[in-house]
Structure 1
Amino acid sequence: MNRNTIDAAGAPAAVGPYSHAVRHGGLLFLSGQAPFDPQTGEVVAGGIEAQTRQVFANLESVLTAGGSSFTEVLKVNVYLTDLDDFEAVNAIYGEVFTEPYPARTTIAAAGLPLGAAVEIELVARDSQS
């Protein structure tokens, strides 16, 4: 298998042994992005709305580095430590994606790295293929 990895300069450094994304077979598989500030590596302050916006900014950096965009997203997985945050996250999600919407799963997680409240991963078409 020819695995082409993508590391985005504008996204926070990985907190483990993984790449920001992998390109394979016309698809980009993005690792989960948490609400880490790319400069400090810390979770952004300001609650679930600020965290969700930072997650989408980080995802956009990775998509851009991979030559793709939110319009090419096929599948999204959202991880929340508190399902009471669903409506707030869903509202911001609706600002990022337009119809036809990608497929999505939302999962309650017992915990996320560095105390984050939200993490999102996705699969997108590789617009370079």
Structure 2
Amino acid sequence: MQIFCKIYEIKPIDLQIGLDLLQAIKEELKLSPSRTSLDFFLSACVSDKDPHCARLIWEEYKKAGHSYNVMTYIRMYQLHLACGERADAENVLKKISKDDPHIRCIIQACNSAFKNVKSKKKKKK
């Protein structure tokens, strides 16, 4: 589904269009979204720093019968770092195999890119 790629490319990103399209694909056409479609959509969520939408897409992988792979986990790791959700990022990081030197390099780059991001969550008093 190249349309999910376009959602990622168009600025500003409009995730609601993607969610509506995903719902139409599933309900009206009775089709299951491809892994590639979900990958692009998850990337759009990361780019837009939208953890709520990303969690919805994360669940769509399960519903569509797609297993998570290293790049799926990397995208979620990036999202949590970009949103300042350090604890969530650490939980995702535990699921990523660090045997591959390229993956370690990507993780390092993510850490460098988002090292100064502060959490947007409200602290409870």
Check whether TM > 0.5: no
Higher Cα Rg, which structure: 2
The normalised TM-score by structure 2 is: 0.36
Is the strand fraction higher in 1 or 2?
1
Which gives a bigger RCO, structure 1 or 2 (Cα 8 Å, sep 6+)?
1
The normalised TM-score by structure 1 is: 0.35
